[in-house]
Structure 1
Amino acid sequence: MDILQRIRDMYPALTKKQKGIADYLMENPEDVCYITLAQLSQQTASSELTLLRFCEKIGCSSFLELKNEFREYTQHMIRLLSAPAYFPPENASCERSAKEALLTDICRQEAAAVADFSASFNPESIVAAAGKIKKSRRIFIFAHDISKILGDFLAARLRLLYFNATLIDLDDLAETQNRLQQLCEGDLVIFFSFPKYYYPMGSIARKAADTGVPILTITDSISSPAAEHSTHLLLCQTSTKMFYNSLTLPMTILNLLASCLVIDMVPESERKDFKKTLSS
């Protein structure tokens, strides 16, 4: 039995105050993974002692055990809702002619996506994002699954320009919580958020926004979970016939972003020498 079901089963036997705590936990289950006892006390208008007694009431020996049970629940939901999946088109065929026609169609769709992106490209959005990066003392890049490829690429590009950039795997809930608690003035958070959207992404973005640091999100839609908590968005379509996400346009955005930083930080007379210093 998961922690939420246990709370529901015990709900009738809780005091009015305990029901208020239970209501908050059931309405914000993913938040519990990233919240401190003091923050939960503030959110529920309960003393820390009352919260610890609530933990005991529902069978947890400590607040840490409560958080661990909510992490297990969140990990289950991540596997259920955010796991990568693939869906081949109904007309897939092993015949060579059909295969070649399908690959040609996929190529054309990729080219059309790039053309649409280019036609509506707003360089001001890249310049603004680069400006946020330049002003940052530390940069924390949060990504999961295939987006970690993008995050690793961006972190590598930023380090070439001597930025303090760190990639955090969102699947590691403990590390994610630790990094969120470390955020302070001068930091920048960068989220990658593409379908299937990571189950706790909205909660994580909200926690980052609560610290007051600027948030740059690279995503496919203004309705993605992190978008509403972000101070700056870079948008690109990623859907494909075979997979949920193509990395073509996200990589294009990252190349533009890195290029803008080089333009700003490396004088034109030194760019050839700068390029020669880079590895392949």
Structure 2
Amino acid sequence: MDVIQKIHNLYPEMTRKQKSIADILLESPEDIAYITLANLSQKTSSSELTLLRFCQKLGYSNFLEMKAAFREYTQSMVKLLSSPQYFVPDATITDVEGKSELLRQICREEAEASQRFFSSLDLLSIISAAEAIRGAKRIFICAHDISHVLAEFLYARLKLLYFDVCLIDLTDLNDTQDKLDMLTSQDLVIFIAFPKYYYPLASIAKNAFSHGATILTITDSVSSPTAQYSKHLLVCYTATRVFYNSLTLPMAMANLLLSYLVIDLGPDYRSRDLSNANASNTNNLK
């Protein structure tokens, strides 16, 4: 039995205070995987002792056990709601000519989407995002599933330009939390978010935002789960006939972003390597 079912089963016999705690946990269970006992105490207006008794009511010996149960629940929802899929074409298309025609239609759609993308491109948004990258002390790139392909591309290019960059695979919730706990107001978090959106994505972005980090999102819509927490938002259309997302335009967006960085850094970009090395040596001497 998962933690959500336990709460529902025990809800009728809970005290009024316990029910208010349960209501908050049920409202956003994915948040609990990333919250501390002190933060939950503040969120529920409860003492830490009251929360520990609530954990015991559910059959957990301490808060960490309950938190692990919520993480396990979140992981199960990830598998259910964030798994990759593709659209199956019309099953009646069986001959080579019909399949070729479908491919031509996809080509036209990609070309039209690219034309709309480049004709309506907001270069100032790209420049602003590039400046945020350049000004960040550290950069954390977060992605899941197919978005991770674009994340690896960005990571490799930023390393080539000697940025201090870390790649986070959101599938690993434990590693994600460890990395988020490192964030400061000097850091930049880049979310790459396309459908199917990763189930706990909004909670992860909220956690990063609460640490004061600047957030940049590359996504397909202004209503993306991380958009409300993002200072920089780069939007590109990705829907296709066969897969949920085409990487054509996201890759173009990443290329433009990186191209401006190279233009902005100029021929002295290698000096960043020396600067980072000196900073590392200084820290080692402390």
What is the TM-score when the length of structure 1 is the normalising length?
0.93
What's the secondary structure of 1:159's corresponding residue? helix
Provide the rounded CA distance (Å) in 2 between the counterparts of 1:31 and 1:121. 35
Query: Taking structure 1 as reference, are residues 92 and 123 closer, same or farther at Cα in structure 2, changes over 3 Å only?
Result: farther
Do structure 1's residue 69 and structure 2's residue 74 form an aligned pair? no
Within 5 Å, which residues of 2 pair with 1:53-202?
A: 53-90=53-90, 93-202=93-202
- Runs of 4+ more than 3 Å apart: none
Structure 2 partner of 1:29: 29
Superposed CA offset, 1:144-194 (max 9, x none): 001111001001111111101111011111111111211102100000111
1:93 CA displacement: 2.1
What's the secondary structure of 1:215's corresponding residue? strand
Superposed CA offset, 1:102-144 (max 9, x none): 1111111111111110110111111000000010010001100
1:85 CA displacement: 0.9
What's the secondary structure of 2:181's corresponding residue? helix
1:87 CA displacement: 1.4
What's the secondary structure of 2:216's corresponding residue? strand
Q: Is the 8 A contact 2:185 2:214 kept in 1?
A: no
Structure 1 partner of 2:273: none
The amino acid of 1:120's aligned partner reads: S
Structure 1 partner of 2:205: 205
1:60 CA displacement: 0.8
Provide the rounded CA distance (Å) in 2 between the counterparts of 1:206 and 1:119. 33
What's the secondary structure of 1:19's corresponding residue? helix
Provide the rounded CA distance (Å) in 1 between the counterparts of 2:186 and 2:138. 7
Q: Is the 8 A contact 1:92 1:99 kept in 2?
A: no
Provide the rounded CA distance (Å) in 1 between the counterparts of 2:186 and 2:152. 21
Query: Taking structure 1 as reference, are residues 208 and 227 closer, same or farther at Cα in structure 2, changes over 3 Å only?
Result: same
1:228 CA displacement: 1.1
What's the secondary structure of 2:189's corresponding residue? strand
Q: Is the 8 A contact 1:191 1:216 kept in 2?
A: yes
Structure 1 partner of 2:275: none
Q: Is the 8 A contact 2:18 2:54 kept in 1?
A: yes
Figure out how many residues of one structure are paired with residues of the other and give that number: 269
1:91 CA displacement: 5.5
Query: Taking structure 1 as reference, are residues 92 and 136 closer, same or farther at Cα in structure 2, changes over 3 Å only?
Result: farther
Superposed CA offset, 1:192-232 (max 9, x none): 11111111111111111112211000000001111111111
Alignment root-mean-square deviation, CA: 1.3
Unmatched runs of 5 consecutive residues or more in structure 2: 270-286
Fraction of identical pairs, as percent? 58
What's the secondary structure of 1:30's corresponding residue? helix
The amino acid of 1:228's aligned partner reads: Q
Provide the rounded CA distance (Å) in 2 between the counterparts of 1:3 and 1:69. 6
Provide the rounded CA distance (Å) in 2 between the counterparts of 1:252 and 1:53. 53
Structure 2 partner of 1:2: 2
What's the secondary structure of 1:266's corresponding residue? helix
Q: Is the 8 A contact 1:89 1:242 kept in 2?
A: yes
What's the secondary structure of 1:46's corresponding residue? coil
What's the secondary structure of 2:142's corresponding residue? strand
1:14 CA displacement: 1.4
1:94 CA displacement: 2.9
Structure 2 partner of 1:274: none
The amino acid of 1:70's aligned partner reads: F
Structure 1 partner of 2:16: 16
Structure 2 partner of 1:277: none
